[in-house]
Amino acid sequence: DRARAMQGAMRGLSPEDQARMRDMMGRFTPAEREQLKRLVQKTPPEQREGLRATLLGMTHEQRLAYLDEHA
C-alpha cells in the first residue's frame, strides 16, 4: 500500500523532487505518515499539488510543526 501511495505522490515530479519526496517520507515515523495521510485526505484534490510543493520546500522540523498544526 505504501509503495502504491508513493507512486501517486511522485507522479509528475522531477527526479530532484522525487529524491526529496523519498527523503521526506523516509524521515517520517509511521505515526507522522498517518498524520500526513489524514492531511492529504482532507485537502481538496485541486490543492494537493500545492500542499506537496509546500511540504517539499520545508525542513523536516518545519514539516513536523506543519503536520501538528494542520493534520
pLDDT of residue 71: 84
pLDDT of residue 2: 66
DSSP per-residue letters across 16-31 = HHHHHHHHHHHHS-HH
pLDDT of residue 12: 82
Kindly state the DSSP code that residue 43 receives in the 8-state scheme: S
pLDDT of residue 47: 95
Taking the chain (71 residues) in runs of 10, the rounded mean pLDDT of each run is 70 88 93 93 93 95 96 84
The pTM score is 0.82
